[in-house]
Amino acid sequence: MDSATLTYDTLRFGEFEDFPETSEPVWILGKQSNALTGKAEILSDITSRLWFTYRKNFQPIGGTGPTSDTGWGCMLRCGQMILAEALIRKHLGRDWRWESGKRQRDEYTSILNAFIDKKDSYYSIHQIAQMGVGEGKSIGQWYGPNTVAQVLKKLSVFDTWSRLAVHVAMDNTVIIEEIKRLCMPWLDFDRGARAESQEMNGYAEGACALPQEEAAVWKPLVLLVPLRLGLSDINKAYIGTLKQCFMMPQSLGVIGGRPNSAHYFIGFVGEELIYLDPHTTQPSVEPCESGRIQDESYHCQHPPCRMHICELDPSIAVGFFCQTEDDFDDWCMHIRKLSGCREGLPMFELVDSQPSHLTNNEVLNLTPDFSESDRLERFFDSEDEEFEILSL
């Protein structure tokens, strides 16, 4: 097997014993740990996250395209990681842990198979790259956080096993009514019209009624919020609020990075962000006939990477997962508390229904991936040259 190409970022922090000896809490995706007494648990938690990196020698994308994503696929891999975390939450739970050499549950194998570098995997680099063409990205071109969020939303429709409701909140606004309609679409169904239709067609009473158990089901929500937290550097007024997002039990982390480099941020300690780095080129992996996968390379087993929060590029997407309606209501309560906090600026607005100023389709499609001049104008010319902070 070819050796992996490791980056400086991947290796620069040495052994896990170099993790800061601090009494400050370590937050990983909504869970708090102690660096002095819980290093083993912190490492186990981080290692259990699915780690997607550059790969080489996979099937050509589109049949004749690239066989490696080295140099251009870092944000796509970060998108895979944040969505994989949502699938783990849904099918395995937040407390699930991966162990090297241990046979895993069938659900884990199904999740990993959804991301394998093959054209028929739901969330493969092939599917993301080809779906990105519809978002104006040619195959092999780098993405911004908003673009990858939009692509993941489109791909999730084909994942009938997970039945996720993926919502990308635009214009820095999360609209509760939109999300509840997405996660419980039957609430908008005209039951009177349904009953009348059944009677006209001679159906027995209740024969086609929505099953009671289905009516109570909430489609698990993946909420992605693309944001711009400054122009060229992150506005320090947002730092406290950003940290709070990692502390919420619904946290899926953040995709973003620094100039020339995209990362998947999963937590923080003090003023340092903890992240998984996709900039490691590894050979592609083929599943066995049984569907099992040699999965060692999909779990980062070296010390976690860290960087000062002020180094973060202001173009990011924050992710949250709400398994139930109660989870979503609890998340709304957390966000409203943050909005009233004086220690930092709110990163986005939470509203009950669509504000009147968001009725224009152009505004609804506002993206943090556009040029500096576009970002300064509420309405923009969609033909202006597009700009990505996280270029390669």
Of 69, 74, 126, 327, the active-site residue reads 74
Longest CA span, the chain: 73
Rounded to an integer, what distance in angstroms lies between the CA atom of residue 197 and that of residue 215?
19
Q: Is 341 a catalytic residue?
A: no
Count Cβ atoms below 10 Å from residue 152 Cβ, excluding itself.
Answer: 27
Residue type, 313: D
| Burial class of 37 by CB neighbour count within 10 A (0 to 12, 13 to 18, 19+) | exposed
Name the nearest CA neighbour of 328 among 170, 210, 214, 169: 169
Instruction: Report CA 320 to chain centroid distance, whole Å.
Output: 8
Q: Is 74 a catalytic residue?
A: yes
Q: Is 159 a catalytic residue?
A: no
Count Cβ atoms below 10 Å from residue 283 Cβ, excluding itself.
Answer: 15
Rounded to an integer, what distance in angstroms lies between the CA atom of residue 319 and that of residue 250?
8
Of 117, 277, 327, 369, the active-site residue reads 277
Rg (CA), the chain: 22
Rounded to an integer, what distance in angstroms lies between the CA atom of residue 159 and that of residue 115?
12
Rounded to an integer, what distance in angstroms lies between the CA atom of residue 274 and that of residue 314?
16
Residues identified as active-site: 74, 277, 279
